[in-house]
Every structure is written in C-alpha cells, then in structure tokens.
Structure 1
Amino acid sequence: MSSFSDSQSVARYADGPVRQVPGFHALQRMAELLLAESVPEQGHILVLGAGGGLELKAFAQARSGWRFLGVDPSERMLKLAADTLGPLEDRVALLEGYIDQAPDMAFDGATCLLTLHFLSMEQRRHTLAALRRRLKPGAPLVVAHHSFPQDEGGKRRWLKRYAAFAASSGVAGVDAERAIDAIGARLPLLAPEQEEALLREAGFEGAELFYAGFTFRGWVAYAP
C-alpha cells in the first residue's frame, strides 16, 4: 500500500479501478443497495480503505441521509477523497489511520472495497474482527477484493484473464503483464473459501457472494 503515498500514483488513482475492476461502478451501486437493505435513512456508515473517495461519493450521492466515516492510512489519498467529494464532504469525516484508529462505536453498516487483498491473513483476521465489533447487531459489512483459486494452474489462468480485461480497457499490455507478476508475487491472496472462513471466524453471519468479476469477489455478511 506504500504506492498510495506516492503523489503520481495518487493522481492516477481515479482511472485505475475502472480499467482494472470489471463492473467497477456497478460494484459500488450493488454495495450501496446491499447496505440500504438494513441501514436506516439516517444511518452512519464506516468506510475502511476510503482514500480516493470514489465509493464515498457514490454512496453519498445515492443516500442523502447517510453520514460516513472514511478511514485510510494515506494522507494524500484522504486529500484526494476530500477533493473528490466536493460539497458532499459535509456529511463525511475522514480519519488517517487503520481500523484500530476508528472510534469504538456502533455503526449501521460498513464497507471495505478493494483493500483487504493488501493484508496478510492475520491482518485480515484482526481487521474483520475489529469491524464486527464496531457494527450494530444485524448491521451489514460489504467487502470486495482480489480472491480466486490459488492452485498454480488456476492462479495463472485467472491472472491472465485479469490482465486481458485490463488490456482491453486501455492498460498497456506490458503494464498488464507486470500486474500479473506483481499481484501474484506481492499480494497475500486467498481463495474464496478462505475468505468466507475468515468472515465466519471474525464473528460474521450469513455471508453471501454477490459479485464476481474475473479475479475479484465480493461478499455481504452481518454482525450477530
């Protein structure tokens, strides 16, 4: 995640997800709709990994009564989030840090999009448990990130599909190939069944897969 403290990476951030994540805008809309199933009209949402502000803006535009806490470890990314939000920022508090720096209060819902794949299994376990402790009973958590089969053949096959999508979206071919190497070697990736097991271990109930786009998967689960 150190690249998100680099000024050039931050400046390019807004273009990246659209070109690399299949159905990126639809993913945001689905996350908002899943939250809305349980979150009241005046709900308070915790957005972990909020730097850039893309999902914060989408959620705030869709739900005028919701308030948000956006948490991210990168000061530059939070500045970008503030710029992205514009006049919507009056309903958003931005906090530099990790989940442990978030206030120990009961939120009506939470999201963690395109973030958990940067964390080791132990860090994910800690983060998910900390998220669960900050949610009201029955509150939803929506997560989405890289997660695909981790056997050698399956891993290579799915990463090639990811690269093909990125290339078809305008990412230069050499960059797509570099992304395969970087994702496969540097990210602590987990298979979908491991992700679901971690959600259960952290205390979440009713985990359901709602999104699958090549190497990306998304789940909604609920605090007990």
Structure 2
Amino acid sequence: MTWFSDPEAVARYAEGPVRLVPGFESLQRMATLLLAEHLPGAANVLVLGAGGGLELKKFADRQPLWRFVGVDPSAEMLKLAQATLGPLADRALLHEGYIDSAPPGPFDAATCLLTLHFIPAEERLRTLREIHRRLAPGAPLIVAHHSFPQAPADKARWLKRYAAYAVDSGVPAADAERAISAIAAQLPVLSPEADEALLKEAGFHGTELFYAGFTFKGWIAWKDR
C-alpha cells in the first residue's frame, strides 16, 4: 500500500493502532506472554510485518534474551522500527521485503501482527507455508489481523462497529466512514473460519483463538514436533 511509503504518514503510524485496534497494548502483552510460555530463555524470533517496530520493542523490553529478525516491504516503516527500538536495535536484524526475504531459520517462534489482512488468500497461504518452513519443530506462530464474517449483512455490521470504535477513540466520523469503505473495497479480509482453515492447510496445528476485538482476531498455532 502506498500509505506505508509516505514518510509523513509513516511518522504518524504509532497513533493508529492505539486508536483503532481494541486492546492494542494488551494484544502485544498477550503475544509476549504466549511466546514466553514456549521460550523461557534465549530465542530467535521471526517478526513478519515488523515495520514501525511496536511489537519488536514490546518483545525486546520484556524478554532481554530474545533476538529478532524483522521483515517488512516498506523501507520507511523499517526506518521507523529502527528508531522505535532505539538502544535495543542491535538485537534485531531488519530486512526489506516479504517472507522470501527472511533467512531460512530455523526460528524458535514467529509473529505476524496486523499484517495478513493485506494479503490475498492464495498468497496468504503461501506466506504461512513459508513461515512454517522457517520454524523449528514445535515452534509457535502468533497472528492477529482483521477477520470477521463475510456475508454482506454481517460484514456491514462488523465494519460499522469498527467505525463506531474509531469515532469513540476520537477519529472524525467522516474519516471513519471512509476507512470502512476502503476496508470493504480493498482489503482481502477473510472470515475467522477461513483464517483457521488456512493455518491448518499451511501445516499448523492446535490453533487457539486468544484475542478478539470487534473486527480483529488473534490466534496461536504450532508447528509439529
């Protein structure tokens, strides 16, 4: 998306998730705690969609023995991630690109937060398979993104709830309406059932829903040992 290449828009990025994603800070905390269940000590974590650096900083602050490889297609967003990490940046290697730009691993865990809803289903499946291929046996994957029913009436209802939350967070009503129109027209959002089916088809098992915030859902799933 061209938005992620606009330096002025990127500079304001951190304001967006806090206002638009219900429980955003708690989502990051829960992701950290779920990873820590499996990674009690030193670990290498793959972070897909790492631009902005918000989850990288949360993970690095809470877990000083973890190191990271972050991947994002936007050079501007990766610059922001570097700045967000500050003195923690030496624990993260950042790569511009998509999943194919990530090293082969094996990684002890992976995350993909607020990213997969930008990727069409066929490419999303390939991305999940490539993440799976880079994980060590038994490693967890955490994903969270827009995921809500896609029948027209259901879709309209959930998008109106997203807009209502945005307005309640201080977003002008006209901007919120434009946002849901753009989501409906441009984002290849899937239903929760379809998202879970893709995780299974990509080779993950034991999928558990751990987060739900209006139009957003989050899961943890596992690679076989």
Query: How high is the TM-score relative to the length of structure 2?
Result: 0.98
State the identity %.
67
Aligned residues: 224
How large is the RMSD of aligned CA atoms in angstroms? Answer: 0.6
After TM superposition, give the deviation of residue 49 of structure 1 in Å. 0.2
Counterpart of 1:80? 80
Query: Alpha-carbon deviations, 1:88-125, whole Å to 9, x = none?
Result: 10111111111011111100000000000000001100
Counterpart CA distance in 1 for 2:186 and 2:149 is 16
Q: Which residue of 2 aligns with 1:122?
A: 122
Shift of 1:156: 0.4
Q: Give me the whole-angstrom Cα distance separating, in 2, the residues matched to 1:139 and 1:155.
A: 33
Aligned partner of 2:62 in structure 1 is 62
* Contact 1:40–1:108 (8 Å) recurs in 2: no
Instruction: Report 1:151-170 matches (<5 A).
Output: 151-170=151-170
Give the Cα separation in 2 of the matches to 1:77 and 1:189: 22
**Which residue in the other structure is 2:176 paired with?**
176
Report the counterpart of residue 216 of structure 1 in structure 2.
216
The aligned residue for residue 196 of structure 1 is 196
The answer for the alignment partner of 2:131 in structure 1 is 131
Give the corresponding residue for 2:26. Answer: 26
Gap regions ≥5 residues in structure 1: none
Q: CA deviation at 1:2?
A: 2.3
- The ranges of structure 1 where at least 4 consecutive aligned residues each deviate by more than 3 angstroms after the TM superposition are none
State the TM-score, normalized to the length of structure 1: 0.99
What is residue 44 of structure 2 aligned with on the other side? 44
Matches of 1:205 and 1:127, distance apart in 2: 16
Query: Are positions 1:111 and 2:111 aligned together?
Result: yes
Secondary structure of 1:69's partner? Answer: strand
Structure 2 unmatched runs, 5+? none
Q: What letter matches 1:109 in structure 2?
A: A
Question: What CA distance in whole angstroms lies between the structure 2 residues aligned with 1:215 and 1:173?
Answer: 18
Q: Deviations over 1:99-157 (max 9, x none)?
A: 01111110000000000000000110000000000101110000000000001110000
